[in-house]
């Protein structure tokens, strides 16, 4: 199978008052249609790695390919389109737009691409909100939802454009075990039904163990790469 | 499209701020409309007051002549000129009025009552009696009649410079709005004046009015060429009153200055508030960019906000300016007639509204550009 992600010799150095290198020559390939987890201690560089894959951050050195396309040489607009159409993000701090309702937040990536809605997409939004169990609060502003509800809305938002790749940074961080379990099953279902590639950062051992591959990061290096 | 939706939502979700910006813009526009319309109408009223009952282009006898002959054909050809709205032949000469122990030096004006009406609106301005209907009748002005204790039906004696005496019957009293004119002009019909001064069929001037006093000099040229080689002198009100026009021009310039600075301060105000909104909304812009909104789309969000605020401010501002102006004119003219009319120049209102919209769109350029520079990673990383 082809690679969804192909990173070669990626380093990240923050050059502030002092230079800090947080990623060291990372080589990473992720197969299309696979379900992977990224684990490691706090501060080990998981989010940094994920953000570079998601084109939000730039590698200081090395090359990054998403679905066979070099991203380190793309223009800002090309990157924006790639993010919108091919990548679904679930951020560590869920990041909903406070001026919009849960429903509108879920719809937003679609609107960015198409400008207007269709009955089909409206149905899909409701379906996704049902999947993440938010029917009751779908018309609440995101500020009127609990942390866990916001996180679930962010998951639905990541799915709306049927992305080829979903990058999730601790998607179950704020959730109870039951909801964590249903979110895992949802992500797994998407992986199986649509062949979506998933890369999720998690601190939850049980979740990590249920993915196809565990990649462990320590101090900016891949320490362990385990096919389960 | 998505940018418009987001812009609208941003404005809606901070209602107080939106309202304040719209009010700020509206007050600026209202002041601009008030000042602009007030000055325009003041100038119009002033111009009408000054030139409305005056000859704009006047044909006089040639230097060494005292009369114009063959004037009927000249009147006819002047009437055909574009921009001429009234043509009236006149016979003017000084005279002395003597009534018992009082005397006044006056100017006897022989006019064609019908043609002169187009310039002086004599019948309308005659508030007692009527304009002269035959050769022995005379129309006198308000102040003269009051000074001499004249009323309709009285006889007055006129002594010409060549010591001829005529008796005329007062048919009416007029008020042309100027005491100097009212005191001085004693109006008879042309034939009467021609007899009094022994001019035969000749006249002493042809008076006209034009559509636009500001082009009276050009119209005078047209009159000149229409009359060909006829030896006459042609004057125009514009060239005869240069101070009046330079006063109008500088008044107009000061009005534009005020309007420009009011608008400028409004634009600066909006630009600064919108710049703050970019900072306020930087988290949202970061999230949107992470979800794939393009820089041009994020700029559009702020342009649309500026445009929407501009439209809101323009509508409220035009309404407010209109009410303010209308109320002001009503208040100052409550005592009687005002030379400032309360009429509106619709195209000026539309212009002001458009300027408000364009100005706030321009004011939103700075925040629009600022939003391009926003890097989503800053927001995503720090929560
Ligand atoms: N802007 C920055 N300047 C300097 N160092 C930074 C900057 N951003 C992140 N770092 C450092 O990079 C390292 C990796 O951070 P990262 O957010 O990737 O960790 P993480 O593995 O996601 O941790 P966590 O599990 O707590 O989310 C950390 O040591 C952090 O201090
Ligand atoms: Mg992290």
- Would you list the domain boundaries of chain B? 2-49+245-382, 66-230
Residue A54: φ, ψ to 5° = -80, 5
pLDDT value, residue B228: 82
The residue whose C-alpha atom lies closest to atom 31 belonging to ligand 1 is A43
- Which residue of B lies nearest to A85 if distances are taken between CA atoms? B292
Handedness of CA A59, A62, A68, A72 (dihedral sign): positive
Question: Could you give the CA distance from residue A123 to residue A137 in angstroms, rounded to a whole number?
Answer: 16
What predicted TM-score, i.e. pTM, was given to this entire model?
Answer: 0.78
ipTM of this complex prediction, to 2 decimal places: 0.93
Q: Which of A154, A109, A104, A153 is nearest to A133 (CA)?
A: A153
Query: Distances in Å between the alpha carbon of B111 and those of A9, B117, B228, B346, B373?
Result: 104, 9, 25, 39, 77
pLDDT score recorded for residue B183: 93
Instruction: Please report where in the chains the tokens 């990536």 appear, as a residue.
Output: A109
Hey, what are B88's tokens? 């009236």
Read off the pLDDT of residues B132-155 as tens digits, 9 standing for 90 and up.
998 889 999 999 999 998 999 999
Is the confidence at residue A180, as pLDDT, over 80? yes
Does residue B103 carry a pLDDT above 80? yes
Average pLDDT of chain B to the nearest whole number:
89
pLDDT at B337: 65
Task: Note residues around ion ligand 2 (Cβ under 5 angstroms).
Answer: A 47
Q: How confident is the model at residue B86 (pLDDT cuts 50, 70, 90)?
A: very high
| CA B168 from centre of chain | 40
How many whole angstroms separate alpha carbon B317 and alpha carbon B263? 12
Instruction: Identify whether the C-beta of residue B198 lies closer than 8 Å to the C-beta of residue B67.
Output: no
Closest ligand to C-alpha of residue A49 is 1
What pLDDT, in 10s, does the model give residues B293-311? 999 999 999 999 999 999 9
DSSP code of residue B214: G
Q: What is the B382 CA–ligand 1 centroid distance (Å)?
A: 10
Average pLDDT, chain A: 91
CB contact under 8 A, A99 and B287: no
Under the banding of pLDDT at 50, 70 and 90, the label for residue B255 is confident
Contact with chain B for residue A112, Cβ under 8 A: yes
- How would residue A119 be classed by pLDDT, with cut points 50, 70 and 90? very high
Ligand nearest to the CA of A169: 2
The Cα–Cα gap between A78 and B133 comes to 90
Distance CA B247, CA B164 (A): 44
The pLDDT of residue B49:
82
The DSSP line for A43-73 is TSSHHHHHHHHTTSS--SEEEEEETTEESTT
User: Considering only CA atoms, which residue is closest to atom 29 of ligand 1?
Assistant: A43
> Quick check: B335 pLDDT over 70?
no
Q: Which of A12-26, B7-21, B241-255, B285-299 is the least confident region? A: B241-255
Give me the pLDDT at residue A1, please. 65
| Interchain contact A140–B (C-beta under 8 A) | no
Average of per-residue pLDDT across A24-33: 94
Classify strands B205-210 and B137-141 as parallel, antiparallel or unpaired.
unpaired
Residue to probe by mutation, ligand 1, list A17, A18, A23, A44, most atoms within 8 Å of CB: A44
Of A22, A90, A174, A204, best ligand 1 pocket probe by most atoms within 8 Å of the beta carbon? A22
CA angle B302, B304, B310 (to 5 degrees): 105
A93 has a chain B CB within 8 A of its CB:
yes
State the residue for tokens 């005292």. B66
Burial class (CB in 10 A: 0-12, 13-18, 19+), B92: middle
pLDDT given at position B336 = 63
Q: Which ligand is nearest to the CA of A21?
A: 1
Q: What is the pLDDT of residue B107?
A: 94
Beta carbons of B139 and B187 less than 8 angstroms apart: yes
Q: CA-CA distance, B260 to B252, in Å (whole number)?
A: 12
- B290–A contact, CB cutoff 8 A: yes
Alpha helical stretches, state H, chain B: 2-13, 15-51, 71-79, 113-120, 122-125, 142-148, 179-184, 190-197, 216-227, 237-240, 242-280, 282-290, 295-332, 346-363, 365-372, 376-382
Three-state SS for A148-189 is HHHHHHHHHHHHCCCCCEEEEECCCCCCCHHHHHHHHHHHHH
- Cβ–ligand 1 distance for A202 under 6 Å, the answer no
């Amino acid at each position: 199978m082809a690679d969804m992600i192909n990173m070669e010799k990626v380093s990240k150095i923050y050059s502030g008052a002092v230079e800090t290198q947080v990623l060291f020559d990372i080589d990473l390939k992720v197969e299309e249609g696979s379900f992977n987890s990224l684990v490691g201690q706090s501060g080990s560089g998981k989010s940094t790695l994920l953000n570079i894959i998601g084109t939000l951050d730039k590698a200081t050195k090395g090359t990054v390919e998403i679905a066979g396309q070099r991203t380190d040489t793309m223009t800002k607009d090309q990157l924006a389109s790639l993010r919108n159409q091919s990548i679904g993000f679930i951020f560590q701090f869920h990041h909903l737009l406070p001026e919009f309702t849960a429903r509108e937040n879920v719809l937003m990536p679609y609107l960015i691409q198409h400008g207007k809605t269709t009955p089909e997409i409206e149905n899909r939004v409701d379906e996704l909100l049902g999947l993440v169990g938010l029917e009751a609060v779908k018309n609440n502003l995101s500020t009127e939802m609990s942390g866990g509800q916001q996180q679930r809305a962010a998951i639905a938002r990541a799915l709306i454009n049927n992305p080829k790749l979903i990058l999730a940074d601790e998607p179950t961080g704020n959730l109870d075990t039951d909801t964590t379990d249903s979110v895992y099953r949802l992500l797994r279902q998407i992986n199986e039904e649509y062949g979506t590639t998933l890369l999720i950062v998690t601190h939850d051992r049980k979740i990590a163990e249920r993915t196809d591959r565990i990649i462990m990061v320590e101090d900016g290096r891949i320490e362990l790469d385990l096919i389960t | 499209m998505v940018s418009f939706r987001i812009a609208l939502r941003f404005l809606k979700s901070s209602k107080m701020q939106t309202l304040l910006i719209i009010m700020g813009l509206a007050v600026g526009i209202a002041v601009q409309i008030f000042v602009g319309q007030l000055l325009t109408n003041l100038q119009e009223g002033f111009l009408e007051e000054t030139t409305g009952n005056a000859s704009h282009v006047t044909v006089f006898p040639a230097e060494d002549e005292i009369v114009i002959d063959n004037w009927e054909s000249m009147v006819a050809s002047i009437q055909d000129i574009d921009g001429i709205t009234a043509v009236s032949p006149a016979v003017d000469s000084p005279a002395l009025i003597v009534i018992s122990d009082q005397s006044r030096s006056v100017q006897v004006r022989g006019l064609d009552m019908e043609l002169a009406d187009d310039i002086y609106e004599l019948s309308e301005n005659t508030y007692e009696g009527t304009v002269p209907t035959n050769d022995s009748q005379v129309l006198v002005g308000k102040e003269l009649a009051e000074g001499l204790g004249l009323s309709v039906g009285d006889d007055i004696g006129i002594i010409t410079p060549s010591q001829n005496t005529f008796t005329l019957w007062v048919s009416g009293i007029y008020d042309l709005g100027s005491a100097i004119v009212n005191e001085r002009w004693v109006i008879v019909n042309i034939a009467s004046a021609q007899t009094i001064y022994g001019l035969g069929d000749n006249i002493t001037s042809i008076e006209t009015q034009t559509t636009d006093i500001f082009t009276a000099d050009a119209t005078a040229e047209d009159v000149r060429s229409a009359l060909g080689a006829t030896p006459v002198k042609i004057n125009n009100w514009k060239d005869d009153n240069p101070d009046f026009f330079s006063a109008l021009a500088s008044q107009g310039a000061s009005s534009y200055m005020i309007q420009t600075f009011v608008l400028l301060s409004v634009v600066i105000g909006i630009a600064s508030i919108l710049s703050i909104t970019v900072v306020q909304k930087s988290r949202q812009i970061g999230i949107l960019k992470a979800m794939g909104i393009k820089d041009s789309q994020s700029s559009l969000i702020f342009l649309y906000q500026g445009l929407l605020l501009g439209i809101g401010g323009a509508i409220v501002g035009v309404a407010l300016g209109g009410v303010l102006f209308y109320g002001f004119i009503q208040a100052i003219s409550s005592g009687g007639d005002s030379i400032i009319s309360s009429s509106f120049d619709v195209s000026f209102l539309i212009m002001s509204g458009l300027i408000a919209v364009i100005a706030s769109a321009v004011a939103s350029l700075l925040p629009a550009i600022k939003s391009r520079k926003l890097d989503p990673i800053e927001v995503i990383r720090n929560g």
